[in-house]
Amino acid sequence: MARGLAVFLAVLFLFAPSARAAGEPSLTEVLSELRALQAELRKKDREIEALRRELSELKSRLAEKEPSVAAPSGPAKKAPEISPPVKRIAFGGQYRINSYSVHTHRKTLNASRLRIRQNLDLVFDSRLRSHLQVELGHTHANLTTTEKRLKVRHAVLSYAFGGGFSAEAGILPLSDRARDMLYSADWDYNPLALALYYRSKRLGDFRLFAAELDEGEEDLAHDDFVHYELDWERKFSPGLKLSLFALYAEVAENYANPAGGPSEHTRPHLNYGGMLTWKPREDLTLRAALIGSFTDREILGTPDDASGWLLRLEAEKTFGPAALFLLFTHASGDKDGEGFLPLMALSGTYGYWGYTGILTVQGPTDTGFDDTAVNVSNNGYGLTTFQARLSYDFSERLRLWLAAGWFGDTEARGRDSTVGYDFLGMLTLRLHRYLTLDLGLDFAHLEDSVNGYADRSFNFNPGDEEDKLAVFSRLQAEF
């Protein structure tokens, strides 16, 4: 190595321009310096070789000190070679602290709550992987009861068969193909399920799954809550996408009517429809969804079966650092709650389907005071909404959110047709790539026809109304 370097430098010097400025070293002087450098490099080579021999001797001594793996009375056995079964490990998660102060004429709420979601993702090879998410739910008594709120939220085994076919099994996070209006993994729709997928650039993406939401009593064969679904999604061009879906749920009688008593039979619930997404320009996105529903009367404890339809129209337009979102929804209703029903109305879950912070929810407002949030049909009594949201980026680190919504046209018997109106203002400060701080204010006027998402019960007595003011913050790291 040293000899080659010396020869290279000598050749480079000889082929350099022969003219040199006065005072520069002569060729003889340069060659003398190169010979000295060559001698120094040879010395370094000898030192490196000596270090290698010393390292080899140390390894031999350590090997002699290791305990033998031979059995006491048998021949010596070679120590087993252990290779790690996992090719890649990832630790994603979400750490957040929600704080709020909520004021109505009935009560004042003040609280701070911590929630942690920690992921463990293992990739065994190109076919097999797993996903585990452990959650510490929103804490209350932080010193004594945090461990009681620890639970497994996701537990997924994924296997790729090849040729576009794959499968998942376990506690799966499942979301609909309809912008979280039917059910949403973001709002704890994580049932025990088996899902089969087929993905094709030409034919589109297919999903078929069976999900058990509630086992009921094991000695009763027909008191469960099981969700079956087939859906399909295909991009016809970069700016045009169509989604179609049909879900069928077997739901125990009186599941949404606790006063009706136990059941030994299941009844059907259906949601079916499609959504079209069109992006005619880079700065404009349009969406339209049409969905139908049917729910057997024995599930609800109502005089008649529930059925109806839902229309959703949405537009998003960007203007440089600003973006404007407009949303119209209409779900048909009935005075006895026998109109359109999304699956979430039966499961008692929810989704981030709207723009506001009290009558619908956002991430920073989904804790502690979301009892007056309504689903897209006000639990079958019907609902029409007009909502708008404006975001403006002052910089890469600071964003302003403004939103407003009117909720009405409900048909609840003996109650106001207007559900309420809601105004939201929020600042989002990005402190780090993974860390944000949200600060906001929300005001909503609520009428007696508010029927919160959780249990199909009205929040107020007939004739009552309420003003609700919330000041809130959220510190969140997501990675």
pLDDT of residue 16: 44
pLDDT of residue 63: 58
pLDDT of residue 378: 97
pLDDT of residue 143: 62
pLDDT at 26 over 50: yes
The predicted-structure confidence for 132-159, as pLDDT tens digits, reads as follows 999 988 887 666 556 667 899 999 999 9
Q: What is the mean pLDDT of residues 357-367?
A: 95
For residue 272 the two structure tokens come to: 């079916």
pLDDT at 435 over 80: yes
Which of 310, 297, 298, 301 shows the shortest CA–CA distance to 342? 310
The predicted-structure confidence for 213-234, as pLDDT tens digits, reads as follows 987 767 666 678 999 999 999 9
pLDDT of residue 10: 46
Instruction: Look over the chain and give the mean of its residue pLDDT values, rounded to a whole number.
Output: 88
Backbone angle region of 317, left / alpha / beta, with phi > 0 → left and psi within -120 to 50 → alpha: beta
Those residues with Cβ within 8 angstroms of residue 141's Cβ, 6 or more apart along the chain or in another chain:
none
pLDDT of residue 30: 63
pLDDT at 277 over 70: yes
Quick count: other Cβ atoms within 10 Å of Cβ 427?
A: 15
For residue 42 the two structure tokens come to: 């040879």
Quick count: other Cβ atoms within 10 Å of Cβ 56?
A: 9
pLDDT of residue 49: 78
Q: For the ranges 57-71, 283-297, 462-476, which has the lowest average pLDDT?
A: 57-71
Distances in whole angstroms, Cα of residue 470 to Cα of each of 111, 213, 369, 445: 12, 33, 9, 12
Q: Residue 40 burial (CB < 10 Å; 0-12/13-18/19+)? A: exposed
pLDDT of residue 472: 98
pLDDT of residue 48: 79
pLDDT of residue 83: 57
- pLDDT band (50, 70, 90) for residue 44: confident
Those residues with Cβ within 8 angstroms of residue 478's Cβ, 6 or more apart along the chain or in another chain:
93, 94, 95, 96, 434, 436
Backbone angle region of 72, left / alpha / beta, with phi > 0 → left and psi within -120 to 50 → alpha: alpha
Please count the residues of the chain.
479
Amino acid 57 reads E
The predicted-structure confidence for 301-337, as pLDDT tens digits, reads as follows 999 999 999 999 999 999 999 999 999 999 999 999 9
Please tell me the distance from the alpha carbon of residue 376 to that of residue 369, in angstroms, as a whole number: 18
pLDDT of residue 187: 93
Please tell me the distance from the alpha carbon of residue 177 to that of residue 98, in angstroms, as a whole number: 29
The predicted-structure confidence for 159-202, as pLDDT tens digits, reads as follows 999 999 999 999 999 999 999 999 999 999 999 999 999 999 99
Please tell me the distance from the alpha carbon of residue 243 to that of residue 206, in angstroms, as a whole number: 10
For residue 159 the two structure tokens come to: 């296997």
Q: Residue 213 burial (CB < 10 Å; 0-12/13-18/19+)? A: buried
Q: How far apart are the first and last CA of the chain?
A: 48
Tell which wins on pLDDT, 124 or 40. 124
- Name the pairing type of β-strands 150-162 and 128-136: antiparallel
Q: Residue 162 burial (CB < 10 Å; 0-12/13-18/19+)? A: exposed
The predicted-structure confidence for 228-267, as pLDDT tens digits, reads as follows 999 999 999 999 999 999 999 999 888 887 777 677 789 9
Those residues with Cβ within 8 angstroms of residue 155's Cβ, 6 or more apart along the chain or in another chain:
131, 132, 133, 170, 171
Quick count: other Cβ atoms within 10 Å of Cβ 468?
A: 21
pLDDT of residue 409: 95
Percent of the chain residues topping a pLDDT of 70: 85
Q: For the ranges 16-25, 372-381, 402-411, 455-464, which has the lowest average pLDDT?
A: 16-25
Q: For the ranges 10-19, 120-129, 157-166, 384-393, which has the lowest average pLDDT?
A: 10-19
User: Do 102 and 442 contact (CB within 8 A), yes or no?
Assistant: no
Three-state secondary structure call for residue 130: strand
For residue 420 the two structure tokens come to: 């309420």
> To 5 degrees, how large is the angle CA 328–CA 331–CA 337?
150
Please tell me the distance from the alpha carbon of residue 97 to that of residue 364, in angstroms, as a whole number: 9
> To 5 degrees, how large is the angle CA 473–CA 474–CA 479?
165
Please tell me the distance from the alpha carbon of residue 379 to that of residue 183, in angstroms, as a whole number: 14
